[in-house]
Amino acid sequence: MHLSPQLGETMPSKKRKVELHADDQPPPTQAIMATPEPCSGRPWPDLPSELLGLVLLRLPSHADRVRLRAVCRPWRSSARVELDLLPPPLPWLLLRGGAFITLPDGAAHRLPAVPGDATHLASTGSGLLIVHGDGMLSLMNPSSLATTPLAALAAVLPKYIRYKYLAADRQRLVPLINKAVVSDNFTALLIGNRTWKVIVTIGFSPPLAHFPSSIVDIASFQGKLYYLTSDVRKRQEELYIFGVDNAKQIGIRCISSTLKDIGEESWFDPCSTERYVTEQYLVASNDRLLMVRRWINLPPIYPSDSGIVKRTRRFEVFEAADLSSGCGRWIKVDTLMGHALFVSKGCSKSLSAGAEEDCIYFMHEDIKNGKPEDPFLDSGVYNMRDGTVAPLLTETVVAEPLAVHGGPWCPTWLFPSET
């Protein structure tokens, strides 16, 4: 199986095929998905809007909602009325080769209208930040295909931190962008590697500042930019709010250390047969700012043939409490209040009902030989209620061959907006 060179083309699979287009109109070659025409005189177009809304509630997939709206004009109009009452659709899993997987069906698609000179893609949630070969930046809505140039942001991105060499291809330069956050008040990029980090912003002055390499994530919460740091040895996470003082960017510490439960196992026990590393994510969930800690079990050093593979075993979730008091603290929580979390280094988000409540969706994000590995090697859905991990996809017939397709950006989540 291979990826077709045509953008916007659905990948072949054993599953049903779904094609997404900017105007939500399916291709004319499919009669059932032809351009909606008035179909008065037949009973189906006269379905009450409320009944159509109940049908849409049972369709968590963005693609399925698009197909329903394409049946006829009355359904399209009624569906738009019901949009505000619906939970958001499930996200897409953006692969590193410019394709994406839809949930829950696992169907594979090409991203439409990605420019040929794109050297990097970064999810901003509902949009795609595109880095072009000439160093320019633009923001694209993958649903409407509307593109906005980000000349001001590109102008403050110094050339000496804009690119790095891929280990596998010394001639190709790709950006070091770890995460992009776009809000009504600002745009921020987290850039860097294990030894240094820079936050580049539009909406703050000055627009660029160097920060500790211990920064692991940034997030927008209640109109402000926060960043999370992690001390691996002490297993402590601290929270800072991004600010400006005397024309200098600074980080104001909100939470100084991580709450550690009494009796909880230490980060590393030399007598234990189990070894763990942790990953951290910062996620805004309604009126709560959450820190998600992911526990990943490592295979033992000896014996090398133990048969144990690297796997995510559990998650912990902490709420950042009392942020306005100046004495913030982490409070461990055991519920997501009817929400689900989708976490990745490139983009994390909380969704209301539509996904499995009190569950955390995750993917594999390791880099090997300068390239991201298969995102399905260690992926799944963690249930906070019973501590179990279910497969992310019921079948990976499509996903596995797609995952090996090369690309300079890491897999992440993309949350398409309904238009």
**330 belongs to a structural domain:** yes
Q: Binning pLDDT at 50, 70 and 90, where does residue 419 land?
A: low
Please state, in angstroms and as integers, the Cα–Cα distance from residue 218 to each residue in 23, 182, 347, following that order.
32, 11, 10
**377 belongs to a structural domain:** yes
Name the phi and psi angles at 325, rounded to 5: -85, -15
**12 belongs to a structural domain:** no
Cα–Cα distance between 391 and 378 in angstroms, integer? 9
Q: Print the domain residue range for 119.
A: 31-35+87-414
State residue 319's pLDDT score.
97
Number of domains in the chain: 1
Going along 203-287, which residue ranges are E strands? 208-211, 215-221, 224-231, 236-245, 248-255, 275-285
Closest CA relative to residue 219, chosen from 229, 210, 208? 229
Q: How does pLDDT run across 292-334, given as a tens digit for each residue?
A: 999 999 888 777 777 778 899 999 999 999 998 778 999 999 9
Helix (H/G/I), strand (E/B), else coil: 48: coil
5-19, 158-172, 231-245, 354-368: which has the minimum mean pLDDT? 5-19
Are 267 and 275 in contact by the 8 Å Cβ rule? The answer is no
Helix (H) / strand (E) containing 66: helix 62-69
Domain at 147, CATH number: 2.120.10
State residue 288's pLDDT score.
97
Are 61 and 19 in contact by the 8 Å Cβ rule? The answer is no
Cα–Cα distance between 284 and 292 in angstroms, integer? 11
Q: How does pLDDT run across 388-411, given as a tens digit for each residue?
A: 999 998 755 444 555 444 566 788
Q: How much of the chain exceeds pLDDT 90, in percent? A: 31
Q: Residues 341, 259, 279, 216: is their CA dihedral positive or negative?
A: positive
Q: How does pLDDT run across 201-210, given as a tens digit for each residue?
A: 888 877 877 7
Q: Binning pLDDT at 50, 70 and 90, where does residue 353 land?
A: low
Closest CA relative to residue 308, chosen from 280, 278, 276, 279? 276
Half-sphere exposure for 21 (CA within 13 Å, toward CB):
14
CA angle, 406 then 299 then 362, to 5°: 50
**231 belongs to a structural domain:** yes
Locus of tokens 């048969």:
307
**18 belongs to a structural domain:** no
**238 belongs to a structural domain:** yes
**309 belongs to a structural domain:** yes
Are 35 and 79 in contact by the 8 Å Cβ rule? The answer is no
Cα–Cα distance between 200 and 179 in angstroms, integer? 11
CA angle, 116 then 117 then 122, to 5°: 95
The neighbour count for residue 286, using CB atoms within 10 Å, is 12
Q: Which residue has better confidence, 49 or 252?
A: 252
Helix (H/G/I), strand (E/B), else coil: 320: strand
Cα–Cα distance between 69 and 398 in angstroms, integer? 26
Are 309 and 364 in contact by the 8 Å Cβ rule? The answer is no
Mean pLDDT over 3-14 rounds to 39
**8 belongs to a structural domain:** no
Q: How does pLDDT run across 18-71, given as a tens digit for each residue?
A: 333 333 433 332 333 344 455 455 577 777 777 777 787 777 777 777 777 777
Q: How does pLDDT run across 176-210, given as a tens digit for each residue?
A: 788 999 998 899 999 887 777 888 888 887 787 77
